[in-house]
Amino acid sequence: SQQGEEDPQALSIQEGENATMNCSYKTSINNLQWYRQNSGRGLVHLILIRSNEREKHSGRLRVTLDTSKKSSSLLITASRAADTASYFCATVADPYSGAGSYQLTFGKGTKLSVIP
């Protein structure tokens, strides 16, 4: 079953605007990761945030994590046409919760379209 659930499923914005995508999950996690997938390509890792972290930045990306609400958000500021892609969150379960090995569980993604 899917652990991460992204919201919205699709998002269309104008170039220069900010894009916010949300992810909810169900079980205790060790870390949460965001990936981008361009059409016809593999997934590219963007950012990893651990369960004891609340916010992380990387260039125009900002990720927040709220473990009490079991949710995360990815903010892309000043979007560009090249940001058009699908974005996935993926969780690694807390091994001490009995949820199993350090494998990623992916959501179904948010399809972002940035219009020039």
| Interface with another protein (CB under 8 A) | 2, 30-31, 33, 35, 40-45, 48, 50, 88, 92, 100-109
Q: In the bound complex, what is the minimum distance in angstroms from residue 33's beta carbon to another protein? A: 6
Distance CA 31, CA 33 (A): 7
Nearer to another protein, 41 or 69 (CB): 41
Q: In the bound complex, what is the minimum distance in angstroms from residue 37's beta carbon to another protein? A: 8
Nearer to another protein, 18 or 103 (CB): 103
Distance CA 80, CA 48 (A): 22
Nearer to another protein, 31 or 72 (CB): 31
Q: In the bound complex, what is the minimum distance in angstroms from residue 23's beta carbon to another protein? A: 14
Distance CA 50, CA 91 (A): 10
Q: Which amino acid type is present at position 91?
A: T
Using DSSP, state whether 74 is helix, strand or coil: strand
Dig out the tokens for 15 from the structure.
């170039």
